[in-house]
Structure 1
Amino acid sequence: MAPGDEGINARSRYDRLAELKEAGAVLERHEVEAFLALAEELHFGRTAERVGITTGRVSQTIKKLERMIGAPLFERTSRQVHLTPIGRQLADDLTPLVAGMNDAVRRAIDAGRGITGDLRVGFLSGVAGQLLLKSIALFAKRHHDCEVHIHETQGHDAVTRLRSGDIDVLITDVLIAAQPDVLAGPVLLSEPRLLAVAAGHPLAGRQAVSMEELAVHPVILVPADMPEAFRTDRNPTVTPSGAPVPRGPRAASFTETLTLVAFGRGVFPVGDSVARLYPRPDVVYLPFTDAPPVQWGPMWLKTNTTHRVREFVQAAYDACHLDQ
């Protein structure tokens, strides 16, 4: 066969199948399987056993194909079954196409179920990074053949990077990824909520504060491009009793938020880990007596729920909750 003939032959096979489709001659998968099995076995009984149907059903399927084609595909005698020239041509045309489909499905299954290849995981904030490192350590111990790539994300682009495929799993504040197309895994960390205030703030000497205190102290606003659920949580418009919460200046980053707090421009609710990861002499962290906790966990796209992702989420949960 001359170079390039394979491509020409492949195109001609696709062209013939396209002509059949245009003529209304669409083959069902079970019909193709029965035909190709009989083309190899040349025996109705063995074909029926191979494809898991009755001999009569094989005969009916072949007759249907022959009516569709308009010519015999097999020559049958009391002792032997042979392909006709048209049957041989059809078998030659269909075999590589079916093999290609099977290979494509097999590759998809391997990609979905196999714990090999690459996994791209992201984190948002210092505490998420710590949770991620614990998760990766256990995942790598369980799945040596999967290479994990770590990516730091920002609040405004975290979900966008999930949707673009830049990352497969994201560990973050659960409210960051509260989107219809995003799945949330188990909570890896639930931490008490604190209020960050300036060291010279009137509240700084208190042992604890209530959410009602927000009615008299402006709250620093998070960046406008943060997800709505996160903005609503960190910048409530009213206290639990319904009192309006005054708005402070808007910050462009978390570091800027703490700097504005230190300057006395407002207060800001944070998780307990912030006091450990961002200690500042000019900021005091006070526990709330009545605020819900801040929760962290893994997130991923619904359409990217692969076996690899599920195994990583399981490893993350085990690493953060179970004794190793």
Structure 2
Amino acid sequence: MLERHEIRVFLTLAEELHFGRVGERLRVTTGSVSQTVKKLERLIGAPLFERTSRRVALTSIGRRLADDLAPLVADMDQAVRRAIDAGRGVIGDLNVGFLSAIAGQLLLKAVGEFAARYPDCEVHIHETQGHDAVPRLRDGTVDVLITDLLIAAHPDLTAGPVLLSEPRMLAVASGHALASRDSVSQEVLADHPVILVPTAMPERFQADRNPSHTPAGKPVLQGPRAASFTETLTLVAAGRGVFPVGENVARFYPRPDIVYLPMDGDAPPIQWGPMWLTTNTTERVRAFVRAAQEGPLPRAGVGG
């Protein structure tokens, strides 16, 4: 009754709630997305989405249909992939990515362990950026990504085990009023503007790096918004604000114009690990995650 591509368009729109992003993600025109939705609504006999010039929202019938279809489609995809895996084993090609310098170190160690276990599977390494990491998982150019696990806060992604948990530090300009301190608490964020992360980052990541309030309930001051991590550090060095980072940033991004201050125990650690598209849970992906988890990996505070 329903074509596979029609279901895919519907579920993607139910997640994105934006015709343009669905078109970009599925590489089809927005007109095609609109026609598919209208066809489904004629078939169902009721609106699946409420559409205005400013927003797209699921109707109650649309929400129920999405909730019913999503697990069925995921089960079908995984059944096919399990059959393929059973027939091929851990061979062929695996595309793995990393986001940030510490993630690159974790990835290299995982790749070494995986290659030793599965010499018939060729691994291709890709560096990703904040704006394209998730899209590359979705379009299949990257199978597994090592990253800050808060990046995995998407309903269609699976977050793997924590490979590294590192203490948090605060990046401040070398001439900043805080620079002479031995350590700081999260409460200083109420007195010094915090550089804002790109709006394209997941909400959980934004809330972590740019909290609205300190643990004591004081409003956090907002600084300028950066387009990249390099720009973030440049803004910090220019005295435009401060920014919380992981301990390893001090090793990978040492700068004479920035001081990295340990944050006291009230600051949660930053955790790193693998993430992948849930419908792309192949045996190759599972084998790589096992290798990453079981292989020799750096621990918090050991640079890596």
Instruction: Give the TM-score normalised by the residue count of structure 1.
Output: 0.65
The C-alpha deviation readout for 1:257-284, integer Å capped at 9, x for no partner, is: 1111011100000000100000000100
Task: Report deviation, 1:111.
Answer: 3.4
Q: Which residue number corresponds to residue 188 of structure 1?
A: 163
Q: Does 1:312 align with 2:288?
A: yes
Q: Does 1:111 align with 2:88?
A: no
Q: Report the secondary structure of 1:165's partner residue.
A: coil
C-alpha change, 1:130 and 1:270, in structure 2 (3 Å) is: same
Task: Report deviation, 1:158.
Answer: 1.0
Distance in 1 (CA, whole Å) between partners of 2:257 and 2:246 is 18
Match of 1:297 among 252, 273, 277: 273
Paired AA for residue 210 in structure 1: S
Paired AA for residue 109 in structure 1: A
Q: Which residue number corresponds to residue 268 of structure 1?
A: 243
CA contact (8 A) 2:81 2:281 kept: no
Task: Report deviation, 1:108.
Answer: 6.3
Q: Where in structure 2 are the equivalents of 1:185-224 lying within 5 Å?
A: 185-224=160-199
CA contact (8 A) 1:204 1:284 kept: yes
Q: Report the secondary structure of 1:195's partner residue.
A: strand
Q: Which residue number corresponds to residue 163 of structure 1?
A: 138
Q: Which residue number corresponds to residue 4 of structure 1?
A: none
Instruction: Give the TM-score normalised by the residue count of structure 2.
Output: 0.69
Query: Which is bigger in relative contact order (C-alpha 8 A, separation at least 6)?
Result: 2
Paired AA for residue 134 in structure 2: V
Task: Report deviation, 1:239.
Answer: 0.4
Q: Where in structure 2 are the equivalents of 1:116-131 lying within 5 Å?
A: 116-131=91-106
Q: Where in structure 2 are the equivalents of 1:1-324 lying within 5 Å?
A: 109-111=83-85, 114-289=89-264, 290-321=266-297
The C-alpha deviation readout for 1:28-49, integer Å capped at 9, x for no partner, is: xxxxxxxxxxxxxxxxxxxxxx
Task: Report deviation, 1:322.
Answer: 9.5
Gaps of 5+ in 1: 1-104
CA contact (8 A) 1:156 1:227 kept: no
Gaps of 5+ in 2: 1-78, 300-304
Task: Report deviation, 1:175.
Answer: 0.5
Q: Report the secondary structure of 2:150's partner residue.
A: coil
Distance in 1 (CA, whole Å) between partners of 2:233 and 2:295 is 31
C-alpha RMSD of matched pairs (Å): 1.8
Q: Report the secondary structure of 2:97's partner residue.
A: strand
